[in-house]
Amino acid sequence: MYDPGELLDPAAGASWRLARRGWLVDRAALRALVVKRDEAVRRAAVSADRRTRVSARVRAAARAGADLAALRSEARGLKEGERAARSAALAASERLAAFLLDVPATPDDRVPDGATEECAVELRRWSAPGAGLRAETTTAERPGGRTPADPGRTSVTRARLERVVGGFLLDLHGTRHGYDEVSLPLLVEPEMSHRGPRGPAAPASLVGLTSAQGTRYVAPGGDIGMTLVHAGRSLPVERLPLAHVALSPQLGVDDLRSPGGGGASQPGVGQTTTVDLLRVCLPERLDVEFRRLVAHAEECLRHLELSHRVLLVPAGDLGFAARRAVRIQVWSPRRRRYHDLTTISDCGTFLARRTNTRVRPREGGRQYAGIVHGAALPVGPTVTALLEQHGRTDGLVRVPAALVGGLVGRRLLAVV
């Protein structure tokens, strides 16, 4: 979270940086919350001091054998007053914390201004060999001489294709890129549900499950669970950088229950599975780790022979927790334009402050960790891009070399 002074002091620069992303700091409301918090804390300190002095008088009177009834009654009253003052101070601090939790990350100065795709800066693009060519073959030339509708050995279901793509991505990140595979929690604690990368709107979109142990929330995506992997921990600097990969469902409220359906299952339109990546490092290494994670995502697309481009996202289009981000878009031959596939975010120390993820330097002390995360890649949209870019006019799909081993060794398949 922010220090209130960062947002109240114009010289600190946080206010105008937030304005670049279209977020204006309500300084009057923030200042009022700070004043109320400080006053409540002061009153609690005064109450504690008065009770301490009266307690000393009670002990002195007891040693002298004096009547303690009046002093004890005063001490009880002061104790109740101190308890109420502390409760008021805690409530005031929580209101201030809730305000600060709603404030997004400040954009990096290297991020372009604007809030639309037209304001984004294209960093590079890559075209697969033979991109845009859709071959025509006869039935006799197809493997096995079968038609695309024939569910023989040359046909696979989309579900099978998604499983193969997901497995390929996990293996690539785990073996070649050096990520440790982790299992993410499906349920998150109430106090942590609003500290992830999605911002203040996230709790309203979560589904609560109540048991005898209390209420927990279903995490709608791996980005929330992934950023909580090291929440509350102090990591020794010798272990950094840490790199994690996980296969996780991407869910919404409608994926868990249908409106008015009594909790009946009804998969939502946006349901998919993602391969999420996380890198944790020293803050001064954020540039290096950010470029590395982006390169890993691009390498996945090159292995899958998918034409794509990389955009530097403008300040007004950044995610809640991102100080900068790149958006990777894939080419759609059908629509004749690029469309979004995934976003990789450099969150600076913003998420570490919200989740209390710290680093222990060799020289001692503590500092917040740097966090980079993103999906590399969302499996469903990636398969859609494969079908579009590698689909042929005869209905078959050309299989990239990286997936041939998982798809019965065939280079041409019908997806049914």
In a domain, residue 172? The reply is yes
Strands 180-181 and 242-250: parallel
Q: Report the amino acid identity of residue 94.
A: E
Same-domain status, 283 and 167: yes
CATH of the domain at 166: 3.30.930.10
- Dump pLDDT digits (tens) for 119-158: 999 999 999 886 654 444 433 334 444 444 443 347 889 9
Same-domain status, 90 and 184: no
Distance CA 116, CA 132 (A): 27
Of the candidates 41, 74, 101, which is a domain's last residue?
101
Of the candidates 71, 101, 131, which is a domain's last residue?
101
What is the reported pLDDT for 204? 57
CB of 199 closer than 8 Å to CB of 21: no
Same-domain status, 65 and 127: no
Same-domain status, 256 and 284: yes
What is the reported pLDDT for 330? 97
State if pTM tops 0.75: yes
Domain that holds residue 258: 117-415
Same-domain status, 268 and 369: yes
What is the reported pLDDT for 10? 86
Same-domain status, 400 and 376: yes
Kindly give the parts of the chain with pLDDT less than 70: 130-153, 190-194, 200-206, 220, 251-271
What is the reported pLDDT for 64? 87
Same-domain status, 192 and 263: yes
Same-domain status, 70 and 128: no
What is the reported pLDDT for 221? 72
CB of 295 closer than 8 Å to CB of 372: no
CB of 18 closer than 8 Å to CB of 27: no
Distance CA 15, CA 1 (A): 15
- 219: how many CB neighbours lie within 10 A of its CB? 25
Q: What is the spatial order of strands in the sheet that 358-360 belongs to? A: 234-236, 358-360, 367-368
Omega before residue 241 within 30° of 0, cis: yes
DSSP, res 174: I
Same-domain status, 82 and 161: no
Same-domain status, 129 and 91: no
Same-domain status, 236 and 379: yes
In a domain, residue 2? The reply is no
What is the reported pLDDT for 149? 41
Helices (H), 327-378: 350-355
Of the candidates 39, 74, 101, which is a domain's last residue?
101
In a domain, residue 108? The reply is no
Q: Report the amino acid identity of residue 134.
A: R
The number of distinct structural domains making up the chain is 2
Same-domain status, 247 and 327: yes
